């Protein structure tokens, strides 16, 4: 999508999306407080142009993977126990030794935050995460740059690498990341080809910048992870793992964290849902690395399901984009607060008082109650026509 250094030639795609960036009906700031996540999604739909909305919510080709992510979550039911003292509920989590106030973190969303918030890009995302006591993944493509995002907060963040250009380019980026004070390196490994996102193609927003040699990215192998970790000397997170086989290989090649993700359904079409593959990844890792997960998260109950199946923390991507479009930094903060409210409420009703108590016994297969889609967890949601 966006990239670290723009070439002299104007990007057709980036210009198109920037032209159709956040379009507010008024210049007044968003409501200072949303009362539900549904309100945040509705506000984002009102504030975003059709092109940018479709770019944010769309998936690859038939969008089957996108729909499966949500359908698989809808196909899990939570068990509940009663007459448990739930006056004190602990939702703190840890990631690479850092205590998080919540098991929800802000997932990397490339340069999208720059299209939604052209003035500040990823800076309000970083500030919102740290203010809430959690963390944010800042991407290579983030604007105004990953160094600016790191400088905006007092706590170290996590850097996500999209490999562009050649080995020398990667080494230069890793050196800058280390100097900027990031606490871990996350390598996105499911972007050897760029997924065909037909909503963008149909709206003619799909022309991407040429940047470096795409064959270098296509040729990445497991040994390259070893080289990157040795270069930066930070904990390694491997993002885009969707099989037990690759989970084992990730650990064997130095991964400190295995991040289960299918890029929000935006890369391989007809892939399995991430919540479906989470148990096999957890079994394959067998405690040798920490597990992160994302894929269609819209509710606090989605987070609980993933934690019960073995994830340590859960990333929000589309929901991050919606909250930024709905209310900027304040919108992102409020989304995190509402996620915490939903998590605590569900845990209290389940009879669970800490995340450590969650395990696979708390979930059961169930039939979805209706069609699953990108906003299906919000029954009052209506798209603007």
* pLDDT on residue 4: 33
The catalytic residues are 263
pTM (2 decimals)? 0.91
Residues with Cβ < 8 Å from 381, sequence gap 6 or more? 38, 41, 42, 45, 375
**Axis crossing angle, helix 274-285 with helix 244-252, rounded to the nearest 10:** 40
CA gyration radius, the chain: 20
Q: Are the CB atoms for 72 and 297 separated by under 8 Å?
A: no
* pLDDT on residue 207: 54
Sign of the dihedral defined by the CA atoms of residues 195, 201, 205, 210, in that order: positive
Interatomic CA distance for residues 137 and 263, integer angstroms: 14
* pLDDT on residue 334: 95
* pLDDT on residue 353: 98
Write down the architecture of domain 35-365 according to CATH.
Alpha-Beta Barrel (3.20)
Using the structure block, give the residue that is written with the tokens 């160094």: 147
Question: CA-based angle 57:19:37, to the nearest 5?
Answer: 35
* Per-residue confidence in pLDDT tens, the chain, 385 aa: 333 333 333 333 444 444 444 443 443 433 457 999 999 999 999 999 999 999 999 999 999 999 999 999 999 999 999 999 999 999 999 999 999 999 999 999 988 888 888 889 999 999 999 999 999 999 998 999 999 999 999 999 999 999 988 899 999 999 999 999 999 999 999 988 888 988 888 887 755 544 556 788 899 999 999 999 999 999 999 999 999 999 999 999 999 999 999 999 999 999 999 999 999 999 999 999 999 999 999 999 999 999 999 999 999 999 999 999 999 999 999 999 999 999 999 999 999 999 999 999 999 999 999 899 999 999 887 554 3
* pLDDT on residue 22: 43
* pLDDT on residue 252: 98
**Residue 130: strand pairing partners:** none
* Domain extents in the chain: 35-365
């Amino acid at each position: 999508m966006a990239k670290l250094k723009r070439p002299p030639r104007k990007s057709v795609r980036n210009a198109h999306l920037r032209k159709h960036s956040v379009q507010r009906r008024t210049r007044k700031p968003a409501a200072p407080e949303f009362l539900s996540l549904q309100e945040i999604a509705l506000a984002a739909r009102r504030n975003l142009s059709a092109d940018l909305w479709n770019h944010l919510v769309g998936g690859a080709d038939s969008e089957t993977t996108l729909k499966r992510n949500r359908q698989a979550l809808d196909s899990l039911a939570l068990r509940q126990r009663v007459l448990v003292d739930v006056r004190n509920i602990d939702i703190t989590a840890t990631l690479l030794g850092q205590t998080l106030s919540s098991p929800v973190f802000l997932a990397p969303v490339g340069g999208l935050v720059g299209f939604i918030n052209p003035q500040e890009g990823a800076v309000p995302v970083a500030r919102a995460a740290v203010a809430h006591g959690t963390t944010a993944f800042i991407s290579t493509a983030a604007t105004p740059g990953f160094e600016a995002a790191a400088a905006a907060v007092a706590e170290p963040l996590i850097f996500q690498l999209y490999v562009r250009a050649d080995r020398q380019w990667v080494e230069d980026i890793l050196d800058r990341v280390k100097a900027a004070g990031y606490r871990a390196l996350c390598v996105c490994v499911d972007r050897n080809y760029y997924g065909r996102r037909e909503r963008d193609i149909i709206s003619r927003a799909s022309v991407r910048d040429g940047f470096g040699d795409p064959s270098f990215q296509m040729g990445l192998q497991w040994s390259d992870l070893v080289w990157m970790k040795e270069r930066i000397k930070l904990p390694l997170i491997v993002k885009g793992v969707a099989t037990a086989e690759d989970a084992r290989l990730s650990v064997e090649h130095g991964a400190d964290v295995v991040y289960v993700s299918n890029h929000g359904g935006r890369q391989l079409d007809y892939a399995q849902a991430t919540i479906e593959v989470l148990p096999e990844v957890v079994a394959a890792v067998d405690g040798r690395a920490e597990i992160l997960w994302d894929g269609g998260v819209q509710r606090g109950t989605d987070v609980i399901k993933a934690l019960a199946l073995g994830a340590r923390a859960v990333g929000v991507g589309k929901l991050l984009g919606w909250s930024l479009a709905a209310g900027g930094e304040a919108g992102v903060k409020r989304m995190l607060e509402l996620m915490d409210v939903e998590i605590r409420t569900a845990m209290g009703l389940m009879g669970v008082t800490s995340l450590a108590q969650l395990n696979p016994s708390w979930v059961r297969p169930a039939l979805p109650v209706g069609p699953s889609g990108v906003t299906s967890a919000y029954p009052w949601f209506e798209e603007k026509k």
